[in-house]
Amino acid sequence: MTAAPLLASPLSELAQALEAGNLTSEKLVASAIEAYRASDDNSYIQWCPEQALALAKASDRARKAGAFTGPLMGLPVSVKDLFGVPGLPIHAGCARPLPERWQAAGPVIKALSAQLAPVMGKTHCVELAFGGLGTNSHWGTPANPWDKQVHRVPGGSSSGAGVSLVNGTAALALGTDTAGSIRVPASMTGVAGLKLTAGRWPTQQIVPLSHTLDTPGLMARRVDDLDYAFRALDPVVSKQRVVHTSASELADLTFGVPAAFFWENCSPGCVNR
């Protein structure tokens, strides 16, 4: 299993290549479209190549004219189908679309759109985000792309988000996390996920599961990509205009890894490997 080479590159490198004129957003979106045609993993409930390509061309024209709309300018993004995106029906994993008022963009999507980041489509999720395996009886369960022989779950509830990164159809994925809905699929598809502190980013126009625990969040191929995208979208940090980061800038962070948290109450026969 391979991913589109362009979208597998670090976000900061893609952004620098766009800024230098060595790459175009149109080429990035074309790469995502090619990857989608080669995939059969059911990661999207709505695939929007024409809309994304039009925005990519607009981004390229704006950049050529000397405009800079933000660090995510021209970078293809997938969006979990809990977020309102203007003009795109929202199902939140349900059999029928939600009322049209849910299509309106909230603060997170407005911040993304303002930077002219092409949205490749809306990715599948568990019905109303209530579940960690990634299954959906209405729309089918996205296939974990790491096994082409056996249909394996990708984790949920942001089930299509991690898949969209691995299959090369997006460089960044927007998801949500209440009790693991980004962290679980990130782990199960081998990408990086960021669960924000509740209240750090607004949740307006994101279909709720828990008003006290819901958070928007990000998934990307690597931790420094998450750092880059967080700096681009966070309403506080983005004002500092620090956009290009590297893994070395994260070297002073301290991470705690629980030794037995997932294994303390397992049934006999489950082994921590």
pLDDT, one tens digit per residue, over 157-185 is 999 999 999 999 999 999 999 999 999 99
Kindly report the pTM of this predicted structure: 0.90
Q: Which of 43, 158, 181, 195 is catalytic?
A: 181
Q: Is 39 a catalytic residue?
A: no
Q: Which residue, among 70, 132, 108, 69, has the nearest Cα to 200 in the 3D structure?
A: 108
Distance CA 218, CA 105 (A): 17
pLDDT, one tens digit per residue, over 81-93 is 999 999 999 999 9
Domains of the chain: 11-250 (3.90.1300.10)
What confidence tier does 271 reach under pLDDT thresholds 50, 70, 90?
A: low
Least trusted range by pLDDT, from 105-109, 233-237, 242-246 = 242-246
Q: What is the CA radius of gyration of the chain?
A: 18
pLDDT, one tens digit per residue, over 216-227 is 999 999 999 999
| Residue with more model confidence, 5 or 134 | 134
Contacts of residue 230, Cβ cutoff 8 Å, sequence gap at least 6: 194, 218, 237
Q: Is 181 a catalytic residue?
A: yes
Least trusted range by pLDDT, from 13-17, 170-174, 235-239 = 235-239
Mean per-residue pLDDT for 256-269? 77
Per-residue pLDDT at 254 exceeds 60: yes
Long-range contacts of 94-97 (CB under 8 A, 24+ apart): 94/127, 94/128, 94/138, 95/138
Q: Percent of the chain, pLDDT > 70?
A: 93
Contacts of residue 92, Cβ cutoff 8 Å, sequence gap at least 6: 81, 82, 98, 102, 125, 127, 128, 129, 207
Q: Is 248 a catalytic residue?
A: no
Amino acid, res. 193: G
Q: Which of 25, 59, 157, 158 is catalytic?
A: 157
What the block records as the tokens of 128 is 């109303």
Mean per-residue pLDDT for 103-112? 98
pLDDT given at position 2: 46
Mean per-residue pLDDT for 41-59? 98
Q: Which of 59, 78, 80, 122 is catalytic?
A: 80
